[in-house]
Amino acid sequence: MNEIEEFVRAYDGSQISAIEFGWNNKHAADFFDSNEEFRSKVVAFVCEDPGRSSIELIRDLFLEESRWSVQAWCAPFTFPELVALLLFRGGLDYLPDFLEGFSASFDTFGACHGMHLDPLIIASLLRSLEQSLSETTEERRKTQLESGKDLLEKLKVGNAANGWAVVKPGTPVSNIRVLGRVGLSWHRFKQSIARGLRIR
């Protein structure tokens, strides 16, 4: 049994320090996460053989990957598979965790549009979200619930991935405009306003 397999088999939450987002508080070329390599290997193992991991490990990986995404300014290619696994295995009990990771950044928001989920699970989650929406008055929570409901409705009809693209490493690109810190903040602010208008 190798190190990754042993870690997955034994995981009970007390080992989270090995997979948590260990950021050096820098961005772009200076960005570094001390646990990224190990966590990525664990995610790959879990996605390849999901029946051997606990739902707690899947949840913790999903949340740490979403925290990585906020500062890395992108989402891992395994993120849609991981979120689908969380909802498939965890169901309603892990809906709050899904909403937290889904709404963590524009990148996690976009990546979740690429997941594939069983229609029966979607229907169950939608019922729960609708019930929660009818009982919620807190604005931030309401926005999260509405965004989650919007995504699941798109998944239900099969058009969630429309308008989203995945750019793999090494893809030739041209006509790229690099945004500085101020430009990036302004861009994200405009996106959040646009998203807020869409979900109301």
Cβ–Cβ < 8 Å for 55, 87: no
The reported pTM is: 0.84
* Residues forming a β-bridge with 33: 23
Q: For residue 70, count other CB atoms closer than 10 A to its CB.
A: 15
pLDDT of 169 above 90 = no
Condensed to tens digits (0 to 9), the pLDDT of residues 28-55 reads 899 999 999 999 999 999 999 999 999 9
Element (H, E) at 62: helix 55-72
Q: What percent of the chain has pLDDT over 70?
A: 86
Distance CA 14, CA 70 (A): 24
